[in-house]
Amino acid sequence: MINRLAAIIMAALLFCNLPAFSQAKEYGFQFEVLLSGGKTKAAANITFLFNGSRQSTNTQGMAYITLDNRNAPPINIRPVDEREYTIVGNETIYLPPNADIITTVTIVRSSQKEAAAAEEITKLYRQQKMDRKEMDSIRRVDQAMYTQMLSKQDTILKTVMKNFKVTESDLRSARELMDGRDKYFGIISGNLEGYLNEAKDVRDAFQNLVMYSLENPKSFKLLDSTIEVYNQYYNQLNNTNAECEKAVLDYWKSYELSMSYHNLVDFSINNIHRASIIPLNASLIRKINIYLNEPSKKKRNTLKQELTLELNSILPVFDNNIGILDVKIKGFVTNLRAKRDFQGE
């Protein structure tokens, strides 16, 4: 009896020393695409390698993977094809102790990673209150502070290069592109929107002549000043046309955007300036001056009818083309702004 009891106790002890059965747990991973300005969106339907095994996210960018305690952290997540996207940060991930906690995995499209890295550097510089343009002036007045800022700058640079898997040369090129985009976006959008506004003012001035002001000499002085301002904006648009078209191609790296800009300026020059404003300015203003100085009431009435007919033949086309140009410029500027920074797609 004693021997039998001892055997039972021994078996129990042996059982206690056996490895515990593994307990499977389901872990959730939220994949997100990094966008401009630090924004993100779900990385839907992408494939990735989880510890070498091919997996996919769903339409919400989620992936659920069941692991047991023999698959304890760390785990490795990397792209199936690195030409498609890059994982931001370390590809080796430690799982949370609680399987209910979602692990976030941030990716950036490989074609956008240099721009994303450059934007990240700018953000980190701003957080550290570091202005690259002020570095030289600080160097002249406070060498110690300058050295400290250089050290911080170097740390930021190395961290971003590691997280985004880019070289210093890649970053330099990306920042040059972003600086060029920042510079020329203001010039291009300002030229286009300024020209559009002044063309609208010219249209409104001639429309007012037809409706109210043929008998009011002051309205013609207002028309003269309106056309003078318009000419300034037209000359600015025309004179910078080649430079801005080249800038879109060079800094946005988009033949499509460059051609869109070319077509916009071409429409402005041919369909607005030459088709409407030159005839209004050249022919009608001469007739208006004759009308104002004509002593014969009968001839004045005849001239007024001719002026009204000519204005009514030009203004509807002018007004329609202004509406078309308005839509085109808004669309182009929106697109140019959207592509000024990387978009993650």
Which pLDDT tens digit goes with each residue over 318-338? 999 999 999 999 999 999 988
Confidence of residue 122 (pLDDT cuts 50, 70, 90): confident
pLDDT reported for residue 243: 96
**Residue extents of the structural domains in the chain:** 25-110, 113-167, 171-338
The answer to whether 332 and 264 have CB atoms below 8 angstroms apart is yes
What mean pLDDT comes out for the span 108-137? 76
* 69 vs 8: which has the higher pLDDT: 69
Exposure string for 97-126, b = 16+ CB within 10 A, e = fewer: eeeeeebebbbbbeebbbbbbbbbbeebbe
The answer to whether 51 and 65 have CB atoms below 8 angstroms apart is no
Give me the CATH code for the 25-110 domain, please: 2.60.40.10
Nearest to 42 by CA among 65, 60, 63: 60
User: Burial, 150: exposed, middle or buried (Cβ in 10 Å; 0-12, 13-18, 19+)?
Assistant: middle
276-303 pLDDT tens trace: 999 888 777 777 777 777 778 788 788 7
Nearest to 317 by CA among 264, 262, 279: 279
Residue type, 284: L
**Cα–Cα separations (whole angstroms), residue 185 to 114, 163, 173, 177, 301:** 20, 29, 18, 12, 50
Kindly indicate whether the domain formed by 171-338 is annotated with CATH number 3.90.226: no
pLDDT reported for residue 255: 92
In the predicted model, is pLDDT for residue 171 greater than 70? yes
Strand partners, 103: 29
* 260 vs 157: which has the higher pLDDT: 260
Residue 151 has, within 13 A of its CA and on its CB side, a CA count of 6
**Cα–Cα separations (whole angstroms), residue 42 to 45, 283, 342, 345:** 9, 60, 16, 12
pLDDT reported for residue 12: 47
pLDDT reported for residue 20: 47
pLDDT reported for residue 130: 65
pLDDT reported for residue 5: 46
Confidence of residue 342 (pLDDT cuts 50, 70, 90): low
Tokens at 43, concatenated: 């990385």
